[in-house]
Amino acid sequence: MGAHAYAIQARNVKKHYGRTKEGPGLNGLTLNVPAGSIFGLLGPNGAGKTTAVKILTTLLRMDEGSATVAGYDVSKEGHLVRSRIGLAGQYAAVDEQLTGYQNLEMFGRLNRLPKGQARRRAEELLTQFDLTEAAGRAVGKYSGGMRRRLDLAASLIVSPDVLFVDEPTTGLDPLARQEVWGAIRSLKEAGTTVLLTTQYLEEADQLADLVSILKDGRVIREGTPEALKSSFGGDRLEVTLLRQEEVVKAERILRGIGGAFVLVDNAANRISVPVTDRTGSLLKAASAFADSGLEPEDIVLRRPTLDEVFIHFTGQNGVSNKEESR
């Protein structure tokens, strides 16, 4: 690679589904994914993440716009794109009826590796993804984490220039999630550009160099996770209460101290408000609670999470809800 500063570029890509096929469309998607980065495509269900991945991996044809992947035109040079990408995630699966080893050997052969090399590579990947013990078992009997790892391994048989990972950790337990994250990080170190779609903000925060937030088929915010969090307005003052009844009263107090974007988590008896004056607002809150007789379990100042940024931009941004319920 090297010749291209961007591993993926999408220009105003549009996709509208007809009556017979359903799925979220794209309404002018523009993306610039720098070569060698991990790029997070975030969005709620139905925002068009999977549609975007399917178009960029040539599985789906766009209606309008243009896109290049690894320097090749997605619409006109599909076979060249396909020889440079890997696709892993919920929509590109391995064969459940075959064993892990048989899967990797098969995909190795289909990736033009000679027989001996395909076998050696299959064994190598099974070891690296900690699947040696399960190598001889049918994939249908694998756990979710094992299957995701095999899925990733299958897309890495020959190093792709660009790897698309569609919701890699949906439905995984925290340990398996860590394993998959580790695998994705080492890919980046090896020089692969990774485009990651996810609905987990933490995942993007952990992995991505750059993030685009997708809503109704277009990008509504983009930047580094840090920049996105700052753009959302400084720190947050978060108060956790012992009793449910105290939440309303505490909320009233906090509204007087912090900014407008108040988040209330009723399940956890937790309220947070954006603040600009860190120490001052903390003192104000402490004395206000003391006056009111409330005894919060916890009062902390913290950075906003990407979750809050996300709720802010996708929920409050007001890009009409009509389109969603269409």
Residues that bind other proteins (CB under 8 A): 21, 54, 57-61, 79-80, 82-85, 87, 90-98, 102, 106-107, 109-113, 121, 124-125, 128-129, 138, 154, 156-161, 183, 186-187, 190-192
Output the smallest distance, CB 297 to other proteins, in A. Answer: 43
- Output 183 or 207, the one with its CB closest to other proteins: 183
Output the smallest distance, CB 48 to other proteins, in A. Answer: 14
As a whole number of angstroms, the distance between CA 325 and CA 322 comes to 5
Mapping DSSP onto H, E and C, the string for 108-140 reads HHHCCCCHHHHHHHHHHHHHHCCCCCCCCCEHH
Output the smallest distance, CB 212 to other proteins, in A. Answer: 22
- Output 124 or 173, the one with its CB closest to other proteins: 124
Cα 110–chain centre separation: 29
- Output 148 or 284, the one with its CB closest to other proteins: 148
Output the smallest distance, CB 29 to other proteins, in A. Answer: 16
- Output 54 or 215, the one with its CB closest to other proteins: 54
Residue 169, helix vs strand vs coil? coil
- Output 175 or 190, the one with its CB closest to other proteins: 190
Query: 191-216 burial, b if ≥16 CB within 10 A, otherwise e?
Result: ebbbbbbbebbebbbbbbebbbbbbb
**What length is written for the chain?**
326
CA dihedral (19, 22, 23, 24) in degrees, to 10, reads 30
- Output 79 or 326, the one with its CB closest to other proteins: 79
* Spatial contact of 226 and 233, defined as CB atoms under 8 Å apart: no
Output the smallest distance, CB 23 to other proteins, in A. Answer: 8
- Output 6 or 91, the one with its CB closest to other proteins: 91
Residue 9, helix vs strand vs coil? strand
Output the smallest distance, CB 51 to other proteins, in A. Answer: 9
Residues 6 or more apart from 275 whose CB is under 8 A from it? 234, 235, 236, 237, 257, 258, 259, 281, 301
Output the smallest distance, CB 126 to other proteins, in A. Answer: 12
Residue 211, helix vs strand vs coil? strand
Q: Could you tell me whether strands 162-166 and 193-198 are parallel, antiparallel, or unpaired per DSSP bridges? A: parallel
- Output 186 or 321, the one with its CB closest to other proteins: 186
- Hey, which residues does 212 pair with through a beta bridge? 41, 222
CA atoms within 13 A on the CB side of 78: 9
Output the smallest distance, CB 102 to other proteins, in A. Answer: 6
